[in-house]
Amino acid sequence: MARHAPVHEHSPGLNAVIERNIAALVERGRQEQRRLGRQERVADWVTRWAGSMVFVYLHLALFGVWILTNTGVLPVLPRFDPSLVILAMFASVEAIFLSTFVLISQNRMSAAAEKRSELDLQISLLAEHEVTRLIRMVSALAKKAGVEQPEAAELTDLQKDIAPEKVLDRIEEDAADTRDR
């Protein structure tokens, strides 16, 4: 049984289609979050935590006390790492793990962005196809009604279907030409 997005009252400036699309995208995001495995959720949590100001303040306090204690400025505790080698090792290991968690999260986010980009491309291609058909239909109606059509050459071009693979080939050729200069 399909689950429908909740219907909300229209916000000022938004129509029903936009409201429906927003609700569908929010629901899709929730579904994707529910499908995440434990490891992905842990990686996301660690990444969010490490990217917070609380994390920064906590490290500032811990590293500050560590450094001040071991340089003799804060003689409350005995010096346990006078050369700060243990601190450097601790920070290095933490950096390795944090960067790994960030990479895991970025890889997942990159895959999601690629999926959205593919969807965007498919919708754009569909819209181009529909607009081309509408131009042909309006041109035929205008011709039948005897309405003059200005800029016939441009209109003829607009009535042609676009081959996306040809557009990509041309973009790649132009990029290669720019690199070769």
| Domain layout of the chain by residue ranges | 16-50+83-176
Residue 6 reports pLDDT greater than 70: no
Residue 180, both tokens:
């070769």
Which of 33-37, 67-71, 85-89, 160-164 is predicted least confidently?
A: 160-164
Distance CA 116, CA 114 (A): 5
Distances (CA, A) of 47 to 26, 52, 72, 78, 134: 22, 9, 34, 34, 48
Distances (CA, A) of 65 to 62, 79, 91: 5, 11, 14
Contacts of 39 (CB under 8 A, 6+ apart): 104
Residue 39, both tokens:
């490891």
Residue 43 near residue 109, CB atoms below 8 Å:
no
Mean pLDDT of the 144-156 span: 77
- Per-residue pLDDT tens for 11-36? 777 888 888 888 988 998 899 889 99
Distances (CA, A) of 127 to 140, 142, 161, 162: 20, 22, 12, 11
For residue 5, what pLDDT band results from cuts at 50, 70 and 90?
very low
Contacts of 69 (CB under 8 A, 6+ apart): 76, 77, 79, 80
- Predicted TM-score (pTM) of this structure: 0.64
Which of 6-20, 45-59, 109-123, 158-172 is predicted least confidently?
A: 6-20
For residue 8, what pLDDT band results from cuts at 50, 70 and 90?
low
Q: What is the pLDDT of residue 172?
A: 86
Residue 104 reports pLDDT greater than 50: yes
